[in-house]
Structure 1
Amino acid sequence: MSPATGNEVHVDVEGRTLTISNLDKVLYPRTGTTKGEVLNYYAQVSPVLLPHLKDRAVTRIRWPHGVEGSSFFEKNAPAGTPSWVRTATVSTTGSRTGTGDGTLRFPICDDLATLTWLANLAALELHVHQWTVDAKGRPRKPDRLVIDLDPGEPAGLHECAQVALLVRAALAERDLGCTPVMSGSKGLHLYAPLPATGRSSLDSDGTTALAKEVAEVLQQEHADLVTATMTKAKRPGKVFLDWSQNSGSKTTVSPYSLRGRERPTVAAPLTWDEVEAGADDELALAQLSLDQVLERVAELGDVFEA
């Protein structure tokens, strides 16, 4: 690290020189967490985070004035994007956020330098699609299915854990395993990798239909606890199984991404033992902070991989 002008410093990250600004700026006023601490979190968690971002177009949510200020979604690579940042130009339909020619030019975050550059832009949340791009930036078919478990008050993580076990069983009946991830917000995400054969032929419409089928079956079987209906009026006391994030245009926050909440919580992978404990005990699960996640990674590695 070398000094620069004003509130800026120059840092070398894997052979790339980046200008980092406002390290002391508080991005999470409730906890006093600074931009420097956010950059440090992403640097430390990068060995387990980057594999989840690899080859995926990244939509960012940026909080330039901290989480108590305004935020905005950003899909296109912004003006001033370094030439060494990998990008993918993806066609879109009816988007008002494209380049004007029916496409979006997404950054791809495959390395620590790109991750650091994004964090310096106060891109606290990193959201990705369920598909990857090839070496030429062309989207492949989805390689996974995701179901977002979103509790309607007074339901919470306890109910989400109970429903997660139901979803796991329903997916197992369809020869799919899944991995639980704390959303960092209110609920849980379940990721089901698609096998190399068979369902690998599904496009985004196919995975959306499959996720919706699972959600609607569980709604029929457990109407007191599960809803597959997007109408918020139908959600109080139930867990909404959001199947729509499998749409080709939709994204889900990446495992190990920070969230722009009052506190610096993280989308943290869990073990099924932890989910089962949460289903039994309503106090067993709580959203995890960046410090807690770094401690888990140091002790357990990436439990998503396990």
Structure 2
Amino acid sequence: MTPMTEVEGRRVVLSNLEKVLYPATGFTKGELLHYYATTAGALLPHLRDRAVSFLRYPDGPDGQVFFAKNVPPGTPEWVTTAEVPRSEGPSRMVLVQDLASLVWAANLVTEFHTHQWRVQAPEEADRLVLDLDPGPPATVVHCCEVALWLRERLAADGIEAYAKTAGSKGLHLLAAVRGGSSERASEYARSLAVEAERAMPRLVVHRMTRSLRPGKVFVDWSQNAARKTTATPYTLRAREEPLVSAPVTWEEVESCHTPAQLAFLPADMAPRLQDHGDLLSPLFAPAAPLP
């Protein structure tokens, strides 16, 4: 018997609930579904109106991991889809607009990734993202130092930045922006990365070249490109442990001395949401113009 659940009047098929997805911690598929269902209030606004790329890992992070951008076969007819521009021509992608669609997508065992634009206006970037990626032996602690510099620099342009963990090893800075294309957002983000490297040459690199990255923080500005996506806030990541891409306070960024301080698991999220609400909710307020 395949378990079936009813979510807001929709029938959603669930499968393999006992399957252990993260052998390191014994975290099961049932627990993954429970996490997404209970975090939906904070997660859904960040997914709404954004085409979703699914990073699927149906057998856990050690199994096959693959990106699905087009609407997966077997998608229920009640799941919203939209035609979006892609370099190879328009394609149809999924929008996770409601709880039922979230539970259906979570059952595919999914890391959620979204663009920095909404389907209603693909030509306008409404998010700016800087992905701070530490090259070992650098860690998230070094990313925090860079994040604080970038926060000040963005504030000088009237842009308020918010931080979340990548859920892997780095940190993402997000800001709400308006009035510019993805190309303009990318150019602006690149200029910030170059400036950060100039200010902190021993700590920061703005180029992707692998050989430059050990011991430094790569400020990846390229995810502002229209075709690129970034891990959505609150998504679980396909890592050894079920780490969450978790919003963090600037106080937590300032006081980070060990990577463990900014590693969050599903069980951490309900108490954090109770204490802070969605720390990224200001992203939904009116945005600052892109310089």
Could you say which TM-score interval applies, normalised by the shorter chain? over 0.9
User: Matches of residues 25-104 of structure 1 in structure 2 within 5 Å?
Assistant: 25-94=19-88, 102-104=89-91
Q: TM-score scaled to structure 2, two decimals?
A: 0.94
> What is the CA distance between 1:153 and its match in structure 2?
0.8
Tell me how far apart the structure 1 counterparts of residues 11 and 234 of structure 2 sit (CA, whole Å).
25
After superposition, the C-alpha distances for 1:10-56 in whole angstroms (9 at most, x for unaligned) are 11000001111111111111111111000000000000000111100
Structure 1 residue ranges (4+ consecutive) displaced by more than 2 angstroms after TM superposition: 281-286
1:14 aligns with 2:1: no
Q: Which residue of 2 aligns with 1:285?
A: 261
| Structure 2 gaps, min length 5 | 283-291
Aligned to 1:233: 211
Match of 1:305 in 2: 281
Match of 2:286 in 1: none
Partner Cα distance (1:284, 1:78) in 2: 36
Return the alpha-carbon distance in structure 1 between the equivalents of residues 259 and 75 of structure 2: 44
Q: After the TM superposition, which residues 80-159 of structure 1 pair with which residues of structure 2 at under 5 Å, given as runs? A: 80-94=74-88, 102-123=89-110, 125-134=111-120, 139-159=122-142
| Number of aligned residues | 282
Identity over aligned residues, as a percent? Answer: 46
Higher-Rg member (1/2): 1
1:191 aligns with one of 174, 180, 184: 174
Contact 1:245 1:251 (C-alpha < 8 Å) held by counterparts: yes
Structure 1 segments unaligned to the other structure (5+ residues): 95-101, 195-199
2:157 and 2:279 map into 1 onto residues whose CA distance is 23
Q: Distance in 2 between matches of 1:282 and 1:30?
A: 21
The whole-number CA distance in structure 2 between the counterparts of 1:130 and 1:283 is 27
Structure 1 residue 211 and structure 2 residue 196: aligned? no
Asked if 1:254 corresponds to 2:206, the answer is no
Q: Is the 8 A contact 1:215 1:243 kept in 2?
A: yes
Q: Quote the offset at 1:282 in angstroms.
A: 3.6
Distance 1:158 1:264 in 2: 20
CA RMSD of aligned residues (A): 1.2
In 2, distance between residues paired with 1:208 and 1:285? 31
| Structure 1: distance between partners of 2:267 and 2:240 | 15
Aligned counterparts of 2:12 and 2:24: Cα–Cα separation in 1: 29
Q: TM-score, normalised by structure 1?
A: 0.90
Q: Offset of 1:140 from its aligned partner?
A: 4.7
